[in-house]
């Protein structure tokens, strides 16, 4: 109840700030949707030159991309820690956070809420629904629950990976250089993993398992017999990587000695 009320307070403050500059809010949403639209356009351009991509049709690849957008939007809303090193370490705001009773990571997540990112998730759901109708996909009564479970696992993978990377800030003065690299790698997860070579497959499945945030879960609904087993590992990978991320974060907090250290 304490954290629920805290979330309500932070969300209320976010709405008040956004209502003060409404144009900025809608411009941000429009720019995010335009960026996603360009990625979708790239997929459509690819299929102007080939009928299949690694054995997957245009509708299937667009469905995978739509699924990719759903957990990514939720992740962007709650794990918006891109400026952690500069703001909280460089400017010393981590000292302020550590003096408060709520868990430090929860505070950081709430201070940097970005609900506008959820519009991307809604667009992803629309894309999945539209392409699903085009392919005349069949759904069972359990599929909504499986979808929620796989999406939660994907969000935890995102969170675990980026919390682990952010925790490097406690030990390094310039950790942000790795973030663009990982962000670029994550985008490979929105395409069928079987189009890549063995090294990239291993990277996307084991080391930085971004294939589980897009391809594997979406492929479950497209071809359950071939990809179902891998897709159902998504919650396991999510639990594993969020645990690793939190362990590294808590270790970094214990080693932190203040802005003057």
* 128 occurs within a structural domain: yes
- Model confidence over 165-174: pLDDT tens digits? 999 888 876 5
Q: What's the average model confidence in pLDDT over 189-202?
A: 89
pLDDT tens digit sequence for 87-98 = 888 788 888 888
Q: What percent of the chain has pLDDT over 70?
A: 96
Q: Is residue 261 part of a domain?
A: no
Task: Give the count of domains, the chain.
Answer: 1
Tell me if 58 is assigned to some domain: yes
**What pLDDT, on a 0 to 100 scale, did the predictor assign at position 175?**
52
Tell me how far apart the alpha carbons of residues 220 and 259 are, in angstroms, rounded to a whole number: 47
* Nearest Cα residue to 219 out of 204, 197, 239, 203: 204
Confidence of residue 260 (pLDDT cuts 50, 70, 90): low
Reported as a single tens digit per residue, the pLDDT across 108-136 is: 998 888 888 888 899 999 999 999 999 98
Q: Work out the pLDDT band at 239, boundaries 50, 70, 90.
A: very high
pLDDT band at 218 (very low <50, low <70, confident <90, very high): very high
What is the pLDDT at residue 245? 95
Let me know: does 190 contact 214? Beta carbons within 8 Å: yes
Q: Is the pTM of this model over 0.85?
A: yes
Contact in structure between 158 and 72 (CB atoms under 8 Å) = yes
111 to 8, 10, 32, 120: CA distances (angstroms)? 12, 7, 21, 21
Tokens 């506008």 — which residue? Answer: 116
Contact 249, 171 (CB under 8 A): no
Angstrom distances, CA of residue 207 to CA of 69, 175, 233, 237? 21, 19, 14, 11
DSSP assignment letter at 56? B
Q: Which of 46-50, 129-133, 195-199, 249-253 is predicted with the least confidence, judged by mean pLDDT? A: 46-50
Flag the least confident range among 28-42, 57-71, 230-244. Answer: 28-42
What is the span of the domain harbouring residue 105?
A: 2-255
Task: Give dist(CA 34, CA 26) in Å, integer.
Answer: 12
User: Do the domain assignments include residue 260?
Assistant: no
């Amino acid at each position: 109840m304490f954290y629920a009320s805290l979330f309500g307070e932070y969300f209320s403050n976010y709405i008040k700030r956004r209502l003060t500059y409404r144009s900025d809010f809608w411009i941000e949403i429009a720019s995010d949707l335009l960026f996603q639209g360009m990625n979708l356009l790239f997929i459509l351009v690819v299929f102007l030159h080939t009928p299949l991509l690694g054995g997957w049709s245009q509708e299937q690849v667009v469905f995978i991309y739509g699924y990719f957008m759903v957990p990514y939007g939720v992740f962007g809303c709650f794990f918006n820690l891109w400026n952690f090193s500069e703001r909280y370490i460089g400017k010393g705001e981590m000292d302020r956070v550590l003096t408060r009773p709520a868990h430090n990571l929860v505070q950081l997540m709430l201070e940097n809420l970005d609900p506008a990112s959820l519009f991307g998730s809604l667009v992803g759901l629309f894309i999945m629904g539209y392409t699903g109708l085009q392919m005349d996909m069949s759904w069972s009564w359990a599929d909504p629950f499986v979808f929620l479970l796989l999406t939660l696992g994907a969000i935890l993978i995102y969170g675990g990976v980026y919390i682990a990377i952010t925790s490097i800030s406690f030990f390094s003065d310039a950790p942000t250089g790795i973030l663009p690299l990982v962000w670029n790698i994550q985008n490979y997860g929105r395409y069928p993993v079987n189009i890549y070579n063995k090294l990239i497959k291993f990277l996307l499945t084991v080391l930085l398992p971004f294939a589980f945030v897009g391809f594997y879960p979406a492929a479950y609904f497209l071809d359950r017999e071939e990809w179902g087993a891998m897709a159902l590992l998504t919650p396991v990978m999510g639990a594993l990587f969020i645990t690793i991320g939190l362990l590294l974060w808590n270790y970094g907090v214990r080693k932190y000695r203040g802005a003057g250290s």
